[in-house]
Amino acid sequence: MKKLYILVGIMIFGGVLVAQDFHFSQYQWSPLSLNPALTGNMSKGAHRVILKHRNQWSSVLNNGNTNFLGNQAFQTFMASYDGRQCGKDFLAFGANAVADIVGQPAFRTYQGHASMAYHLSLEDDAYLSGGFQIGAIHHRFDNTRLSFDTQFDPQNGYNPVTPSQEQFNDRPNITFFDLGGGFTFYRLSQRANRYKLGYTLGASVTHLGARRDYSFLAVNNQDPNIVSDRGERLLRWAAHATLILYKNKGNNKQDITIRQLFMLQGPHWQYVPMVEYGMGFKGNNSFFQDVSFGLGTRITRSVMPQSPVVDAILLNLQSDITETMAINLAYDVNISPLRRASNGLGAFEISLLLSFQRDTKCTECPGL
């Protein structure tokens, strides 16, 4: 029962399940899952591939094993691709796949979406983009990997053969059709050959086609996914803003980035402010060409009386290893009420970005 209480607390305060969807703290490295209008919004190249992994709560759920790939941790894997035309106005296409695994794993969610965006050139180096995505969400649940109080005997201990006396849904797997859309307004302007100012404003909504109830348990001996359709798969609204100031001085460059994200899904919301400082060295053949350091926090609110709560302190280190490859390492320091159980350990996140076909005809975008 102790592990069950911890798991419930994680679902409330942990951010992964608080708003029904998976989430990444370094959301700028998962642009297609945040806003389809960001498809093709890239600073380098005409094609982009991003690989991402997040591991959370292994210190709580792995029976003392803090291995970040522990079999009971909350794990999220993502792979995305997007490409664009090169020109003044341009069209962009992309695809995004996510696997969210909870437990041993007892519960899995798979998502796959295709996206398209059109970027319209305005005056003064400004662009307006609109995009949409279409895909599916698949839930898979295996109740044989769970244990219950009725399966524990005071004398003999746990017996998995003993019936759990729970009425589980006979069809625990279900797939939803999913739609989403969004827009962005962005600009990257040159200032006196030494300064560049970039900013991005955007908003999106997802789950337009997936508003349907889903339950692990049978309701009156009937499958709730067939007889019930109460619209409990809630819409997720997101608004984001980014401001970037670049400064070039000799062979060195510096930049400061301020990011803001607000997401709302039903009674749950989260706010993520971040700031990053970066520096680079032109003409340097070292392995790390550009390095940036980031600091942020995540504030969440749920239906519980303890909220809102500052959930975590977000740390990240980013480097452009080469002209076409970048890596981001991030860690969430847990400062929520679960810090006593987690010892302050939260989530580890790693991202890899590859860009291809660098073309001077491609518009340089400020990114997310």
Cα 127 to Cα 140: distance, rounded to the nearest angstrom: 41
pLDDT at 23: 81
Residue indicated by tokens 């300064």: 195
Compute CA 95 distance to the chain's CA centroid, rounded to the nearest angstrom.
15
Helix, strand or coil for residue 279? Answer: strand
Cα 335 to Cα 65: distance, rounded to the nearest angstrom: 21
Q: What number of CA atoms fall less than 13 Å from residue 126's CA on the CB side?
A: 9
How many helices (H) and strands (E) would you count in the chain? 5, 16
Cα 141 to Cα 259: distance, rounded to the nearest angstrom: 36
Phi-psi region of 45 (alpha: psi -120 to 50; beta: other; left: phi over 0): left
Of 6, 77, 102, 23, nearest to 336 (Cα)?
6
Q: What structural domains and CATH numbers belong to the chain? A: 2-356 (2.40.160.40)
Contact of 314 with 298, CB cutoff 8 Å: yes
- Where in 169-308 does DSSP place strands (E)? 174-191, 195-206, 236-249, 252-265, 268-281, 290-301
pLDDT at 308: 67
Stretches in the chain below the pLDDT threshold 50: 1-19, 63-70, 221, 223-231
Q: What is the pLDDT of residues 250-301, one digit of tens each?
A: 667 788 999 999 999 888 889 999 999 998 766 555 556 788 999 999 998 8
pLDDT at 219: 55
- Under DSSP, the state recorded for 145 is G
DSSP 284-340: --SS-SEEEEEEEEEEEE-SSTT-SEEEEEEEEEEEE-SSSEEEEEEEEEE-STTHH
329 Cβ contact partners less than 8 Å away, ≥ 6 residues apart: 316, 317, 318, 349, 350
Q: What is the pLDDT of residues 314-362, one digit of tens each?
A: 999 999 888 889 999 999 988 877 767 666 677 899 999 998 876 667 8
Contact of 291 with 310, CB cutoff 8 Å: no
pLDDT at 274: 96
Q: What percent of the chain has pLDDT over 70?
A: 73
Q: What angle do CA 332, 253, 327 make, to 5 degrees?
A: 35
Helix, strand or coil for residue 114? Answer: strand
pLDDT at 78: 96
Alpha helix (H) ranges present in the chain? Answer: 2-13, 31-34, 58-61, 224-227, 339-342
pLDDT at 309: 81
Cα 116 to Cα 182: distance, rounded to the nearest angstrom: 11
Cα 60 to Cα 68: distance, rounded to the nearest angstrom: 11
Task: Compute CA distances 313 → 105, 295, 296, 331, whole Å.
Answer: 27, 7, 6, 8
Phi, psi dihedrals of residue 276, rounded to the nearest 5° = -135, 145
pLDDT at 362: 80
Helix (H) or strand (E) holding 115: strand 107-121
